[in-house]
DNA sequence: ATTACTACTAAACGAGTAC
DNA sequence: TGTACTCGTTTAGTAGTAA
């Protein structure tokens, strides 16, 4: 989609396809096309010229109209639009949800939990990294973010199984892969403890995020949560 | 799709949907939208206003950006586009093929064939009408039309079964529903005899087409052949 | 009948800027 | 930071018409 007018042309292309020009050479006069697109004959003519220059159609002009065939490139454009739409309409979940929160210092409990052996092993297996021994705490700033976060609950997550030690029980944990500040990969861990505050999220990563991204308390951080296919 | 700019807005709507605004309220600033659409912040702002007036989105403006939700009407627009595209891309056959030919007077054999009882009965059952006892002969005018006609062979058709009388065998016939001159319904009958000329088609209808459409030898006639789903 | 050029009009866009 | 106004510029669209 190089030029701005490309979008307009895509619709003209769509109409041509509706006339069958994507599978066989179709005889379509500029006047006929113009009526179908509710535009003038001159504009239709110009669009065809531009579509041809763009390489989306091939054309032969006869005294009875144009013989038009959409090229493979043109068909590819239509298919791209189609798969975009299919993804949107058929998909049960959005591809990602972006949350924004403010960095704060917690009680350091997160570090204790995520360094337990059974958790660590599963992080490696299921997330592909061993987390830095500490979590980045973020306080969600707006109701919008809190609401987005709560909607995440309904989406499929990576399950980290719980286990029992001599003294106590460690519950199961839900993880979502995330991208922090468009730079670092990591994961959001949910329900580590029983939701003591629905407006707080904890993020783990293979690196020390505070240092890696130069974060200090009070900084705003964007976290893009990737939902699973 | 009332106004001309509706196409452009549909594209903007698609981008909003890609940001998840079709399933939940999404926080999207005009500046962010502008970057994604490769347009200016001002234009993005204007588009959102127009989209709202069009009833395709609902919007709440906050100091941190707009909270945008695509309305049911907006989603319907996207779905309409989607099903148009799906039909084009997934469908094995085009919805219709238009043929153009010149009226001529044949030998009157067609009338004999289509009035045979076994044929007549099946026409009624499978086409929904008893044909006027005569066929309209059309000589296809261009190579393009002949080629289009030959491609029809590959498409699914209504099969009229053959039969045997005391004297001879009547072969099976393929029919395609057609619309003649955008006015009258009928059917194209193919292979009634063994293709003595691939540039001639025969059309039947419940009415006497020559009279009904005031056709005379030499007149050009457009026939829209409907392919089956 | 066609297509498509030129000259003009209407609409969309974006810079600057107010809020 | 945000949104969105005005206004000059650019682009898309049309009428008339030649080929």
* Chain mean pLDDT for chain B: 87
Q: Dig out the tokens for B85 from the structure.
A: 């595209």
Q: Dig out the tokens for A83 from the structure.
A: 């798969």
pLDDT tens sequence across A42-87: 899 999 998 998 889 998 888 778 889 898 889 988 988 998 888 8
Residues in chain A within 8 Å Cβ distance of B17: 88
| Residue with nearest Cα to nucleotide D11 C1' | A5
Question: What is the arithmetic mean of pLDDT over B20-25?
Answer: 87
Q: Crossing angle of helices A72-90/B6-18, nearest 10°?
A: 60
The pLDDT, as a whole number, for residue B2 is 46
For residue A66, count CB atoms less than 10 angstroms from its CB and return exposed for 0-12, middle for 13-18, buried for 19 or more: buried
pLDDT tens sequence across B68-105: 999 888 998 898 888 888 888 887 777 788 899 999 99
Q: Rounded to an integer, what distance in angstroms lies between the CA atom of residue A180 and that of residue A188? A: 10
Residues in chain A within 8 Å Cβ distance of B14: 84-85, 88
Q: Dig out the tokens for A224 from the structure.
A: 């893009």
Cα-based angle B24, B62, B53 (whole degrees, multiple of 5)? 70
Among B7, B24, B86, beta carbon nearest to A8? B7
| Residue with nearest Cα to nucleotide D2 C1' | B63
Mean pLDDT (10-residue bins), chain A, 229 residues = 71 89 87 86 89 89 84 89 87 82 88 91 94 93 84 85 87 91 91 67 94 92 86
| Residue with nearest Cα to nucleotide D17 C1' | A42
CB A129 within 8 A of CB A147: no
pLDDT tens sequence across A144-153: 888 888 888 8
> Domains along chain B?
6-90 (1.10.10.10), 96-226 (2.40.30.30)
Q: Rounded to an integer, what distance in angstroms lies between the CA atom of residue A144 and that of residue A4? A: 33
**Percent of chain B predicted with pLDDT > 90:** 35
Q: Does residue B137 have a pLDDT over 90? A: yes
Reported as a pLDDT band with limits 50, 70 and 90, residue B196 is low
Beta bridge partners of A70: A57
Measured over the CA atoms of residue A200, residue A203, residue A208 and residue A210, the dihedral's sign is negative
Q: What is the DSSP letter of A19?
A: T
**Do the chains contact at A24 and B148, CB–CB below 8 Å?**
yes
**Residue A209: CB partners within 8 Å, gap ≥ 6?**
A132, A136, A180, A184, A186, A203, A215
Q: Tokens 């949350």: give the residue.
A: A99
Nucleotide nearest to A27 (CA to C1'): C2
The CA-atom distances, in angstroms, between A113 and each of A77, A134, B7 are: 49, 9, 53
The pLDDT, as a whole number, for residue A215 is 93
Q: Is the CB of B43 under 7 A from strand C?
A: yes
In Å, how far is A150's CA from the nearest CA of chain B?
Answer: 12
**21-80 of chain A touching strand C, CB 7 A cut-off:** 29-32, 41-42, 45-46, 48-49, 61, 63-66
Closest CA to A158 of A182, A180, A189, A183: A189
**Largest Cα span, chain A:** 90
Q: Crossing angle of helices B6-18/B41-53, nearest 10°?
A: 100
CB B27 within 8 A of CB B91: no
The pLDDT, as a whole number, for residue B151 is 80
CB A74 within 8 A of CB A13: yes
**Do the chains contact at B97 and A142, CB–CB below 8 Å?**
no
Residues in chain A within 8 Å Cβ distance of B64: 142
């Amino acid at each position: 989609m190089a030029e701005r007018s490309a979008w307009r042309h895509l619709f003209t292309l769509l109409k041509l396809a509706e006339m069958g020009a994507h599978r066989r050479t179709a005889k379509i006069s500029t006047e006929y096309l113009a009526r179908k697109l509710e535009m003038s004959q001159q504009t239709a003519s110009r669009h065809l010229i531009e579509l041809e220059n763009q390489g989306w159609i091939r054309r032969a002009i006869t005294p009875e109209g144009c013989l038009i065939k959409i090229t493979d490139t043109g068909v590819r454009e239509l298919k791209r639009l189609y798969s975009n739409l299919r993804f949107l309409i058929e998909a049960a979940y959005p591809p990602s949800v972006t949350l924004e929160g403010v960095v704060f210092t917690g009680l350091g409990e997160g570090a204790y939990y995520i360094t337990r052996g059974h958790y660590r092993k599963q992080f490696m297996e299921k997330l592909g990294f061993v987390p830095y021994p500490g979590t980045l705490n973020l306080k969600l700033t707006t109701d919008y973010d809190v609401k987005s976060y709560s909607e995440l609950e309904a989406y499929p997550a990576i399950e980290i199984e719980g286990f029992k030690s001599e003294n106590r029980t460690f519950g199961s944990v839900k993880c979502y892969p995330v991208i922090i500040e468009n730079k670092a990969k990591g994961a959001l861990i949910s329900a580590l403890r029983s939701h003591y505050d629905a407006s707080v999220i904890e993020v783990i990563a293979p690196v020390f995020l505070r240092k890696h991204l130069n974060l200090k308390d009070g900084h705003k951080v964007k976290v893009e949560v990737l939902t699973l296919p």
